[in-house]
Amino acid sequence: MTDLEALDRADPLAGFRDLFELPEGVIYLDGNSLGPLPKATKLRLAEVVQREWGRDLIRSWETNGWMKLPFRVGEKIGRVIGAEPDRTVAGDSTSVNLFKALAAALTLRPERRIILSERGNFPTDLYMADGLCRLLARGHTVLAVEPEAIDAALDERVAVLLLTHIDFRSGRMHDMVRLTRAAHAVGAVTVWDLSHSAGAVPLDVAGAGADFAVGCGYKFLNGGPGSPGFLYVAARHRDVAMPLTGWMGHDDPFAFAPDYVPAAGIGRALVGTPAVMGLAALEVGVDLVLSADMQAVRTKSLQMTELFIGAATAAGFRVVTPLDPTRRGSQVCVAHSRAASIMRGLIARGVIGDFRPPDVLRFGITPLTLRFEEIGVAVRAMTAEAEQPPRLAG
Ligand SMILES: Cc1ncc(COP(=O)(O)O)c(C=O)c1O
């Protein structure tokens, strides 16, 4: 058995754990759904509320940089995802950003009618794509295929390839470079959902040639519940029209002009008034991610997922996350016919992961907060729970 304590002693990221609030007695394996609270976020939010809002009031839009928050935080997220400068904004939900990205992408291929995606994609991605097609009422459709069939389905009819880089259910990671190239080879545009990737794995959207990317702020970026998401638009698409023409995307919002003139830069991707509190919290989480060496994060993540997979397999569980580390994000998923009951038992023991229907136990690996020892404890608890009589819901 691997010496987990020795791995913890040698861990170059061990110091990050202290920067987060982590309750005693809890092993938190759900940072891929809601990242834990950075201690600095509490101070920052208190400052925003008490000083910036409480004392400086409306002047804060200028004096405390509130107007610039979507750009400032977006720029930092841009560094996390490997974007060109000035091409990422923070704001709105991922669902809304998907709508914006998809609608903008479709305008780049006006003669084509297909949004190609995969059947297991996160539901909101498929719902938003489908809703957009209906709204356009011009014969657009979503073609959702199995992941193995994506290449075969990519042809000259496809306007947009919409994929989630790391699958929420299995943790499988797509090859962004290869698939983007394959999409471009048939003249399609790509929209990547990086919700489970940003802050979890090294990313290079510009290098991969991605056209658009979106993602959540509340997962590995630790922005807090309901945190704003982000939207990236490649520099070569800087003139693309955005579908939601709110005043914050205007070239000069405070001219209060009657006609809409889009901002020249990425500002045209904004819609309404920035969610200051959410953006302030997100900035702290993103700063933490930027202060970590992403290669070290990936190395520790792979060590941990490898250990988890090895121990779970030895205990007789069926692992659904790819065994090939190059195809794996930062989570481990295990299938079990009594998955829901086992997860209830685990949570009662303080091991927090989650259950995804129909039969998946999902464990997020957040290298900034987890100890190797906790991986051992979690797998032993899962094994013990699987041997227990079923626990009822409620
Ligand atoms: C891949 C993916 N996309 C989008 C979302 C959700 O987006 P929103 O923030 O709009 O709820 C999630 C949520 O878990 C997700 O996993």
Is 95 touching ligand 1 by the criterion CB < 6 Å? yes
Ligand 1 pocket mutation, candidates 122, 170, 356, criterion most atoms within 8 A of CB:
122
pTM of the model as a whole: 0.97
Considering the candidates 122, 230, 317, 372, report the single residue annotated as catalytic. 122
Is 193 touching ligand 1 by the criterion CB < 6 Å? yes
State yes or no: is 260 an active-site residue.
Answer: no
| Ligand 1 closest atom vs CA 96 | 10
Considering the candidates 11, 167, 193, 354, report the single residue annotated as catalytic. 193
State yes or no: is 122 an active-site residue.
Answer: yes
69-81 and 276-290 helices cross at what angle (nearest 10)? 30
Q: Let me know: does 183 contact 212? Beta carbons within 8 Å.
A: no
Question: pLDDT truncated to tens, each residue of the chain (394 aa)?
Answer: 589 999 999 999 999 999 999 999 999 999 999 999 999 999 999 999 999 999 999 999 999 999 999 999 999 999 999 999 999 999 999 999 999 999 999 999 999 999 999 999 999 999 999 999 999 999 999 999 999 999 999 999 999 999 999 999 999 999 999 999 999 999 999 999 999 999 999 999 999 999 999 999 999 999 999 999 999 999 999 999 999 999 999 999 999 999 999 999 999 999 999 999 999 999 999 999 999 999 999 999 999 999 999 999 998 899 999 999 999 999 999 999 999 999 999 999 999 999 999 999 999 999 999 999 999 999 999 999 998 876 666 5
Is 313 touching ligand 1 by the criterion CB < 6 Å? no
Q: Which residues pair with 333 in a beta bridge?
A: 362
Per-residue confidence (pLDDT) for residue 388, from 0 to 100: 80
Is 226 touching ligand 1 by the criterion CB < 6 Å? no
Peptide bond into 325 cis (omega under 30): no
CA distances to 17, 26, 30, 118, 327 from 23, rounded to whole Å, are: 12, 6, 14, 38, 32
CA separation for the pair 394, 374 (Å, rounded): 27
CA separation for the pair 200, 103 (Å, rounded): 27
Query: How many Cβ atoms sit within 10 Å of the Cβ of residue 55?
Result: 9
Distance (Å) from CA 116 to ligand 1 centroid? 18
Considering the candidates 28, 71, 168, 218, report the single residue annotated as catalytic. 218
